[in-house]
Structure 1
Amino acid sequence: MRDPLIEEFEQALDEYRAADWEKVGLKAGKFCEIAYCICAGHATGSYAATPSKPVNFPQACRDLEQHNGTKGRSLCMQVPKILAALYELRNNRAIGHVSAEVSPNHMDAEVFLRGMKWVMGELVRNYSQLALTDSHAVVEAVTARTFHMVWSSGDMRRVLEPAKTAGQKVLILLYAEGKQVAVAQLQAWVEYKNGTDFKRKVLRDLHKRAWIHFDEKASTAQILPTGQAYVEKSGLLVVGQ
């Protein structure tokens, strides 16, 4: 179950960098289910071939406490309690805050990210067969501070890696927005001076690749599913790439 756990964790990091707070919650829920299965395998001594969702997640986490005397408190009590808390937050707060004056989605995403990092650190600490100094380095790398790729303030957006090309910035911004954006707004976010060149050299090229839909008549742009897949798989949301 290591590979699917790491995959969900890394995807949650990508969504966080893209400032897609609700998707961080979705990934956190799947992460919790897989991490629970690992804890259950540790507690019972029998690991499932594939991860699965318990019928009653909070109760399943509490049931692991009975093994703490022989299997230790970390993976039988402490980690399951964190997983149960994250799962509760995911199911009852992470989606649907349209009417709220101040959306808690960003705050929730911060909790999800730090909770997942702490759980990952505990799993490394309990399962690592590396030398002590190497294990410590892995834990430090996992729990290092992460910043999201897109800064937002009111109607303003900015990609926090200036070295990205204009096309890459457009993809990142449209990925983060997840909806149509006016070309003039997008040009301002990318800080591209020449509007004609922005449409001709950047947007038309991305449209031709079928990564975005550039509606020249309406003067809007929106990312396509193929563009979303490219952003997620190309490492565009990873700092330094």
Structure 2
Amino acid sequence: MNTPKPKSPLQDALANVPTDYRNRIIKSYLELKARQAEAKHDAAGVSAGKLCETVVRLLQHELKKTVTPFGQQISNFAGECESFSQVPKAMGNESLRIVIPRALNYLYTLRNKRGIGHAGGDVDANAIDGATITRVADWIVCELIRIFHTMSLEEADALVSSLSSRDIPDIWEVGGKKRVLRNDLDFKQKTLLLLYASVESAVLAEDLYSWSKYSNFAVYRKSVLGQLDTGNFVEYDRESDTVIISPIGIKCVEEEILRTPVRAVANHSLKRASRKRAAA
């Protein structure tokens, strides 16, 4: 007897979105996330375009009842996004009519006009553009969940929060704590990775000490946080005892830590998965 494949949490969260739109949104969004995580910026841009085009058709379905068929090009994407603001208020809430279309137009423009995968120039903007595309896509999907979800408010909020956070497989969140699942990193690298996972807010030094499992708090402050601060990898505010990662620290994580192959960890994960399949 075949065991039915479990549904994605996104399938439940977007259950009120018509099936064809829902499946296409989820497929293109997950492709975008996976491709961006692999630094495949060209491919991520393609997925972003597909996501935009599907969400615009969903808005047409919800607000206008006349939909551009899949397979037929939306001739004036920016104009179509702007047209939703002219739809009567009774047809849909403000986010569907105004906010989401503007986000879609920005995302589509960035993906097309900036030329993801572009070469030349003094600064390689591929990674920056790719990260921006991913964050805007996160917001769009989160907003669709907020509007269409059939989950409880608590469940929807938790899912939205998880979608809005950085997807870092090397960080494990458990019981209100964070753990680094990399044995090849020193404590400075672990600290940067933990801060990268909370890039938009400062983190208590005490939390970082606890999460990294360093043995002595005073020494950790001096030898880890102090040296990272001296090198401008972080900003360590000793008055509030909080730490936030700097652009230099972010670059270090993205270019040196996240891209470091960990063959032993990968092999262990594959063996564990094989054992689970064999026992099933």
What does residue 38 of structure 2 align with? Answer: 18
- Say whether residues 1:27 and 2:129 are aligned partners: no
Change (3 A) 1:60 1:151: same
CA-CA distance at 1:115 after TM superposition: 0.4
CA-CA distance at 1:95 after TM superposition: 3.3
Change (3 A) 1:159 1:68: farther
Cα root mean square deviation, aligned? 3.0
C-alpha contact (below 8 Å) 1:151/1:160 kept by paired residues: no
Deviations 1:118-173 (A, max 9, x none): 000110011112222222222122222224999535xx95136861139x8xxxxx
Change (3 A) 1:161 1:100: farther
C-alpha contact (below 8 Å) 1:19/1:148 kept by paired residues: no
C-alpha contact (below 8 Å) 1:25/1:109 kept by paired residues: yes
Q: Could you state the TM-score of these two structures normalised by the residue count of structure 2? A: 0.53
CA-CA distance at 1:18 after TM superposition: 0.8
Q: Which amino acid aligns with 2:255?
A: S
* Equivalent position to 1:2, from 22, 34, 37: 22
Q: Which amino acid aligns with 1:6?
A: I
Q: Which amino acid aligns with 1:88?
A: T
What does residue 77 of structure 2 align with? Answer: 57
* Equivalent position to 2:255, from 128, 152, 169: 152
- SS state at 2:255 partner: strand
- Cα distance in 2 for partners of 1:161, 1:137 equals 32
What does residue 60 of structure 2 align with? Answer: 40
Change (3 A) 1:49 1:7: same
Change (3 A) 1:99 1:64: same
C-alpha contact (below 8 Å) 2:116/2:129 kept by paired residues: no
- Say whether residues 1:103 and 2:156 are aligned partners: no
After TM superposition, the structure 1 = structure 2 runs for residues 210-225 of structure 1, keeping only pairs within 5 Å, are: none
Identify unmatched segments of 5+ residues in structure 1. 169-241
Identify unmatched segments of 5+ residues in structure 2. 1-20, 171-252, 271-280
What does residue 106 of structure 2 align with? Answer: 85
- Cα distance in 1 for partners of 2:107, 2:123 equals 20
How many residue pairs get matched? 167
- Cα distance in 2 for partners of 1:47, 1:132 equals 30
The answer to which structure, 1 or 2, has the higher relative contact order (CA under 8 A, 6+ apart) is 1
